[in-house]
């Protein structure tokens, strides 16, 4: 009898051990379930054409679904804030797209492991960063500028005293180059003085005092012309440099566009740039094309995709990526879906599918 009991106990232990093997070998595959994901169209992360969704994030979710047994049900939201609200309100199980992982958002949501590492970048109208020398438009602007008016006034004031001295002395000479009358004599003296400043005098003074004054005035003219030329050259150079945008420091005083209520808008506000916030990045693209804006700041992958597709030839990237950040999938705090997603994401990274998807949308292996 005792041997029978021992046999029963051994068989029971064996069966129990076999039942626990899956847990020892690896995690059991999650039970099939429908997962509602909130998205909004933002190429190349989410693109909807004829009711069919594609894009980097969509491909990642499709591959994750193969590992988890999920059926993905998409709902469309207006922007990232609306996506996160959908998760917080229970209308969606997750929010995915180009969603930056921030400290503030992490207090409210459980974020997956990063699906992409990127950051912000600057977009400008095409040709703006290649400008190397001032052109005719720059010359005309400077010709009729306040700077030219100021220097003309300086030249007139600088000539007042020498012109009067020239007229007072020269009119006493028998062969004077100016009229003995104040009018038009003083205008003739002015003309001579201004001509000397430009190194093109109409005549030479006859009186020896004026000849000495002319020699002194010639040195003044050389200094004036040199300083005047240097100032105008500097103005043209500064205008050219101000037109170039290559970093966030160059955005001050510029008309900058970004999408409102995003990490790029927050960054620019903290920087003190005061951008124009719009509802969608497409509005920034249109504004740059029409030269309503000098620059747009947004997620680098989005801008890079636009430059290589619809924006080719009309806009270009300016400077490197800055304010680096990670993009992830947002779940409700405590959701068991987050762990399942991370495990599946790790699997597709290990088997190479992740690199294939990334290369497909960003041209990287």
Tell me the per-residue pLDDT of 279-325, one tens digit each, with 9 for 90 and over: 999 999 999 999 999 999 999 999 999 999 999 889 999 989 999 99
The residue behind tokens 């599946």 is 344
Burial class (CB in 10 A: 0-12, 13-18, 19+), 275: buried
Look at the block and give the residue holding tokens 């740039």.
Answer: 273
Taking only the tens place, the pLDDT of each residue in 115-149 is: 999 899 999 998 764 444 556 666 677 667 777 78
CATH code of the region 136-232: 1.10.287
Residue 335 DSSP symbol = -
Q: Does residue 113 contact residue 347 with C-beta atoms inside 8 Å?
A: no
**The two structure tokens encoding residue 276:** 């124009």
Segment among 52-56, 88-92, 150-154, 240-244 with least mean pLDDT:
240-244
Give the start-to-end residue ranges of the domains of the chain.
Answer: 26-115+328-362, 125-131+245-324, 136-232
pTM for this model (two decimals): 0.61
pLDDT of residue 25: 42
CATH superfamily of the 26-115+328-362 domain: Periplasmic binding protein-like II (3.40.190.10)
DSSP state of 64: H
Query: Does 195 have pLDDT greater than 80?
Result: no
CB within 8 A of 61, min separation 6: which ones?
Answer: 37, 72, 96, 329
What is the pLDDT at residue 235?
Answer: 64
Q: What's the CATH number for 125-131+245-324?
A: 3.40.190.10
Q: Which of 79-93, 216-230, 294-308 shows the lowest per-residue confidence on average (mean pLDDT)? A: 216-230
- The 10s digit of each residue's pLDDT in 12-71 is 655 555 554 444 444 445 567 999 999 999 999 999 999 999 999 999 999 999 999 999
| Kind plus residue range of the DSSP H or E element containing 211 | helix 208-243
Share of the chain above pLDDT 90, in %: 54
| 26-115+328-362 and 125-131+245-324 share one fold | yes
Lowest mean pLDDT across 76-80, 144-148, 342-346: 144-148
At 124 the pLDDT is 95
When the pLDDT of each residue in the chain is averaged and rounded to a whole number, the result is: 82
Per residue in 140-164, pLDDT (tens digit) is 776 677 777 887 787 777 777 777 7
188 pLDDT band, cuts 50/70/90, is: confident
């Amino acid at each position: 009898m005792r041997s029978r009991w021992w046999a029963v106990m051994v068989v029971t232990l064996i069966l129990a051990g076999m039942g626990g093997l899956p847990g020892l070998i690896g995690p059991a595959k999650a039970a099939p379930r429908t997962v509602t994901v909130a998205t909004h169209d933002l190429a190349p992360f989410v693109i909807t054409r004829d009711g069919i969704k594609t894009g980097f994030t969509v491909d990642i979710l499709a591959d994750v679904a193969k590992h988890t047994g999920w059926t993905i049900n998409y709902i469309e939201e207006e922007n990232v804030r609306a996506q996160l609200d959908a998760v917080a309100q229970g209308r969606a199980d997750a929010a995915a797209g180009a969603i930056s992982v921030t400290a503030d958002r992490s207090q409210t949501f459980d974020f997956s492991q990063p699906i992409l590492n990127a950051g912000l970048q600057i977009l400008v109208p095409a040709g703006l960063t290649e400008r190397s020398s001032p052109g005719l438009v720059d010359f005309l602007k400077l010709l009729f500028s306040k700077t030219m008016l100021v220097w003309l006034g300086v030249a007139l004031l600088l000539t007042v005293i020498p012109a009067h001295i020239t007229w007072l002395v020269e009119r006493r000479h028998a062969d004077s180059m100016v009229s003995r009358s104040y009018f038009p004599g003083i205008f003739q003296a002015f003309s001579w003085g201004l001509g000397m400043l430009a190194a093109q005098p109409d005549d030479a003074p006859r009186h020896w005092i004026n000849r000495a004054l002319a020699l002194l005035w010639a040195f003044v003219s050389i200094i004036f012309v040199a300083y005047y030329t240097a100032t105008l050259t500097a103005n043209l150079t500064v205008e050219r440099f101000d037109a170039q945008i290559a970093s966030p420091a160059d955005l001050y005083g510029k008309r900058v566009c970004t999408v409102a209520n995003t990490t790029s808008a927050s960054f620019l506000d903290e920087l003190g740039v005061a951008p124009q916030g719009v509802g969608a990045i497409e509005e920034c693209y249109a504004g740059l094309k029409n030269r309503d804006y000098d620059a747009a700041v947004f997620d680098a992958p989005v801008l890079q995709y636009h430059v290589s597709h619809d924006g080719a030839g009309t806009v270009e990237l300016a400077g490197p990526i800055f304010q680096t950040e990670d993009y992830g999938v947002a779940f409700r705090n405590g959701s068991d879906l987050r762990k399942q997603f991370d495990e599946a994401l790790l699997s597709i990274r290990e088997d190479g599918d992740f690199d294939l998807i990334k290369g497909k949308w960003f041209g990287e292996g």
